[in-house]
Amino acid sequence: MKKLTSTLPHMILSLGLVSIIAAALLGGMYVITKEPIALQEKESRIEAIRRVAPAFDNDPEADAVEITTPSGNRCTVYPAILSGRFNGAAIATSTMEGFGGEIRIMAGFTADGAVKDYQVMSHAETPGLGSKMQLWFRDPKGARSVIGKSPATTSFYVVKDKEQKGEIDGITAATISSRAFLGALREAFDAYTKYREDNGK
Domain ranges (residues) in the chain: 52-199
- Bigger pLDDT: 45 vs 196: 196
Length of the chain counted residue by residue: 201
Q: Helical H runs in 53-141?
A: 133-136
The end-to-end CA distance of the chain, in Å, is 81
Among residues 92, 114, 96, which one has the least CA distance to residue 105? 92
Does the structure show a pLDDT above 80 at 12?
Answer: no
Task: Spell out the residues 6+ positions from residue 87 whose beta carbon is closer than 8 angstroms to its own.
Answer: 54, 55, 56, 80, 81, 110, 111
On the 0-12 / 13-18 / 19+ scale of CB atoms within 10 A, 57 is exposed
Q: What band does 3 get if pLDDT is binned at 50, 70 and 90?
A: very low
127-176 pLDDT tens trace: 999 999 999 999 999 999 999 999 999 999 999 999 999 999 999 999 99
Alpha carbon distances (Å) from 141 to 40, 56, 91: 34, 30, 26
Q: What band does 4 get if pLDDT is binned at 50, 70 and 90?
A: very low
Distance, in Å, from the CA atom of 157 to the CA atom of 167, rounded to the nearest integer, reads 6
Single pTM value for the model: 0.80
Task: Spell out the residues 6+ positions from residue 20 whose beta carbon is closer than 8 angstroms to its own.
Answer: none
Determine which of 21-30, 73-82, 185-194 has the lowest per-residue pLDDT on average.
21-30
Q: Which residues share a beta bridge with 90? A: 78, 108
The three-state secondary structure class of 168 is strand
19-73 pLDDT tens trace: 677 666 666 665 565 566 567 777 888 899 999 999 999 999 999 999 999 999 9
Q: Which residues share a beta bridge with 89? A: 79, 109
List of E strands, the chain: 65-68, 74-82, 85-98, 101-110, 115-122
Does the structure show a pLDDT above 90 at 117?
Answer: yes
Does the structure show a pLDDT above 70 at 112?
Answer: yes
Q: Which residues share a beta bridge with 114? A: none
Q: What band does 2 get if pLDDT is binned at 50, 70 and 90?
A: very low
Does the structure show a pLDDT above 90 at 191?
Answer: yes
Does the structure show a pLDDT above 90 at 75?
Answer: yes
